[in-house]
Amino acid sequence: MDLQALFTIYKESQLSGRYITNKHIQPILEEYKGVCDVRVEGRSVLGKPIYSILAGTGDIRIFIWSQMHGNESTTTKAIFDLLSFLNSEDAFAKTLLGHFTLYILPILNPDGAEAYTRVNANAVDLNRDSVYLSQPESKVLRKCFEEFKPHYCYNMHDQRTIFGVGDAPMPATVSFLSPAYNDEREINDSRQKAINLIAAMNDTLQEHIPGQVGRFDDSFNINCIGDMFQSLGVPTVLFEAGYYQGDHEREITRKFIFFALLSGINAIYENVIAVNRSEEYFNIPQNKIVFYDILFKNVKINYENKEKITNFASQYREVLFDNSVIFQAIISEIGNLDTMHGHAEIDCNGAEFSTDEGNKMPKTD
């Protein structure tokens, strides 16, 4: 299966960039109404529709939701790339739709998506609301889960640029987690299936982004939706779309999420995930916070009226402006920073720091 060729052909051209809302996906949903079951499953805090897409007629049911955090849109783009392929005339796509039924909530948190925030309109993190179900979006997700009775769950997220793979200076472009189902982080049949599925997807990704696949910490928290669904006996996989070199818009990362989605579905179809692959899964390096967006080295500053050579790091703040996301660099750390890396590193060779106001000492935000 030539994943690169499939992505090139079927990438959803109507979606791009970081800012993805209901307004962006509604024209696509209109197109799919003739080939998929498109519904409104409920409403957000501010009354926006929470859409679902039902694709396929097969016996194996996969439940997928994205933008639980409103500003995490990369996986939403990849889901529509996948749907573009599955709804094509490709023979293998038709085979998959006869083997699987996919139930997709493309934007679970439409209020957060429009405001470009992690939380919903009540300032609640929906991924910490799986027990109390205090929010309308959380209730929609649980209702769909209980009615659909999935065999697999895909919990789709973005991750920040701060994460690297182990101690190596490689960004965590894609990360996975098979969530724990209890405090002891034991492996039962449900979690084992998720582990085996991740190992299969990792095999594919290592061919394209070697050394850039990470594994999230599996500490148990029943308030997290992935941990909850795993504890309810459904193999659940957390997808995290991270940073690829130079790709702040996550247009390259969306491709690798598409690769993971399609290769994972193919692994289930070919029934190659029955073998215990725990060792391979736990050998995927764990995510670590080792990156800043920009690292300035050997900068001369004036500290307490003394000249000093130091380093400082900048992180991009993502700001919604005129219906698009812009990146504002802020100084986040000053000091040695020997254990950290920069996605961009600039050796200032002793050049003096100063601002337009004449300040000789940078201020952290």
Per-residue pLDDT tens over the stretch 295-352: 999 998 877 777 889 999 999 999 999 999 999 999 999 988 888 999 999 999 988 8
Arithmetic mean of pLDDT, 141-153: 98
What is the mean predicted confidence (pLDDT) over 164-175? 91
When pLDDT is averaged across residues 13-17 and rounded to a whole number, the result is: 97
Tell me what pLDDT residue 363 has: 76
pLDDT for res 338: 87
Given a cut of 80, whether residue 55 has pLDDT beyond it is: yes
Give pLDDT, residue 169. Answer: 86
Residues 46 and 49: their CA atoms lie apart, in Å, by 9
Query: pLDDT exceeding 90 applies to what percent of the chain?
Result: 88
Chain centroid to Cα 210, Å, comes to: 18
Residue 173's pLDDT is 98
Which tens digits make up the pLDDT trace of 25-34? 999 999 999 8
Distance, in Å, from the CA atom of 66 to the CA atom of 78, rounded to the nearest integer, reads 10
pLDDT of 255 > 70? The answer is: yes
Is the pLDDT confidence value at 61 over 80? yes
Beta bridge partners of 299: 310
Sign of the dihedral through C-alpha 43, 44, 49, 52: negative
Measure the CA–CA gap between 53 and 114, rounded to whole angstroms: 20
In tens, the pLDDT along 193-237 reads: 999 999 999 999 999 999 999 999 999 999 999 999 999 999 999
User: Mean pLDDT, to the nearest integer, of 350-364?
Assistant: 75
pLDDT of 192: 98
CA distance 316 to 327: 5
Inform me whether the pLDDT recorded for 4 exceeds 90.
yes
The reported pLDDT for the residue numbered 131 is 98
Instruction: Indicate the DSSP class of residue 275.
Output: S
Instruction: Work out the mean pLDDT of the chain and round it to a whole number.
Output: 95
The DSSP annotation for 128-190 comes to G-TTT--SHHHHHHHHHHHHH--SEEEEEEE--TTEEETTSS-B-SEEEE---SSTT----HH
User: For position 168, what pLDDT does the model report?
Assistant: 75
Long-range Cβ contacts of 4-12 (<8 Å, 24+ apart): 4/208, 4/255, 6/85, 6/90, 6/258, 6/262, 7/81, 7/255, 7/258, 7/259, 9/85, 10/81, 10/84, 10/85, 10/88, 11/81, 11/84, 11/255, 11/258, 12/77, 12/80, 12/81, 12/83, 12/84
Q: In terms of Cα–Cα distance, which of 114, 142, 137 is closest to 125?
A: 137
pLDDT confidence of residue 358: 67
Cα 56 from chain centre? 24
What is the per-residue pLDDT for 170? 94
Query: What Å distances lie between residue 346 and 149, 244, 245, 316, 318, CA to CA?
Result: 52, 19, 16, 16, 22
Residue 360 has pLDDT above 70, yes or no: no
Residues 120, 18, 197, 213, Cα dihedral to 10°:
-120
Range(s) of the chain covered by CATH 3.40.630.10 = 3-289
Q: Are strands 37-43 and 49-55 parallel, antiparallel or unpaired?
A: antiparallel
| Cα separation of the two ends of the chain | 47
The secondary structure of the chain in percent helix, strand, coil, rounded to multiples of 5, reads 30, 30, 40
Tell me the pTM: 0.96
Top-tier CATH class for 3-289: alpha beta
